[in-house]
Amino acid sequence: MSAWLVSLAGTEAGQQLALILAVSAAFLHAVFGALQKGRHDPWLTRGAIDFSYGAMALPFALFVVPWPEPHMWPIFAGAFVIHTGYKLLQGWAYTKGAFTVVYPVVRGTGPFFTVIGAYLIFSETFSAVQWLGVAVLMSGILGLAVYNMVFMTEGRDTLVSAMVIAVFTGLFVALYTTYDAYGIRATADPFTFLAWFFFIDGLVFPVIAARRWRRMENPPTLGPLMTRGFFGGLVAFASFGSVMLATRLDKVGEAAVLRETSPVFAALIGWLVLKETVGPRRIALMALIAAGAVIVEMGG
């Protein structure tokens, strides 16, 4: 399967598969964010998720995929640092603000910087039409955040700090997207990168979560928490794995922009599952996000 995927890179079939993977990643990433923000403390949920996907990845890393080339170990170390920083910021943001406020800001600051990073590292360029699509998509995402700031009634005392943290989290999204694209292209077998990435990435947050759980006066029952972590781990494999493979098959910038349609799915999840209010203005802004993604894809 690895050889087949690698052979599709740069082809029309590869572009079509990358499109499917990037949009799938958008939906799954919104589900992943909702799982972290939902019933339990986001730090505990993240720890349970990371433990689950790290444990699931380990046997594949050791016994299924080819062993990483020597030059891959420094790359894995860099990914470990970047993703740990991203998750620390994201968990902090979710403790300060509502999911439908924080998530659009995190995702809205990512595409622009990712496109710039893809230009600097991979020499990718966007047409004028595609830049228009990026502008439309970002206006919808950031407009959604501004709307939430203006009309939100709960948690306004921590709103400013939540927004600032969310912006820095978005910068880390751009950083890890570009870096992961470099990493998955640096090895002969993309599944080698994925297996070892998920194992290494799952080492830190279970420790943070366990220490936090022990210090709680009324810690949650571990059964439901680990169940959420297990399903979150499966979603993480599908979501992050999909977008990483998309960046291996086609342009990094396009995959990143298409993935940022996730606030549309996130708003729907916030409304249907988390019972957060979604009105006609938000629907209009979500339509802008979807339109921006369509313009980027059609202008390519």
What pLDDT is recorded for position 275? 67
pLDDT in tens, 42-72: 788 889 999 999 999 999 999 999 999 999 9
Give Cα 69 distance to the centre of its chain: 26
What pLDDT is recorded for position 84? 94
What pLDDT is recorded for position 203? 94
pLDDT over 90 at 12, yes or no: no
* Among 248, 190, 293, residue whose Cα is nearest residue 14: 248
pLDDT over 60 at 220, yes or no: yes
**Per-residue DSSP letters for 89-147?**
HHHHHHHHS-HHHHHHHHHHSHHHHHHHHHHHHH-----HHHHHHHHHHHHHHHHHHHH
Share of the chain above pLDDT 70, in %: 89
pLDDT in tens, 228-256: 889 889 988 888 888 888 888 888 877 77
Lowest mean pLDDT among 18-22, 122-126, 144-148: 144-148
What pLDDT is recorded for position 190? 92
Contacts of 5 (CB under 8 A, 6+ apart): 190, 245, 248, 249
User: Which is more confidently placed, 40 or 234?
Assistant: 234
What pLDDT is recorded for position 173? 86
pLDDT in tens, 263-281: 677 777 767 776 666 667 7
* Among 243, 97, 92, residue whose Cα is nearest residue 168: 92
Per-residue tokens: 293: 């993604």
pLDDT in tens, 73-117: 999 999 999 999 998 998 888 777 776 677 777 777 777 777 777
Predicted TM-score of the model (pTM):
0.81
Alpha helices in 186-277 (DSSP H): 190-201, 205-215, 222-249, 252-259, 262-272
CA 193/CA 114 separation, integer angstroms: 20
What pLDDT is recorded for position 154? 61
Question: What is the average pLDDT score of the chain?
Answer: 82
Burial of 228 (0-12, 13-18, 19+ CB in 10 A): buried
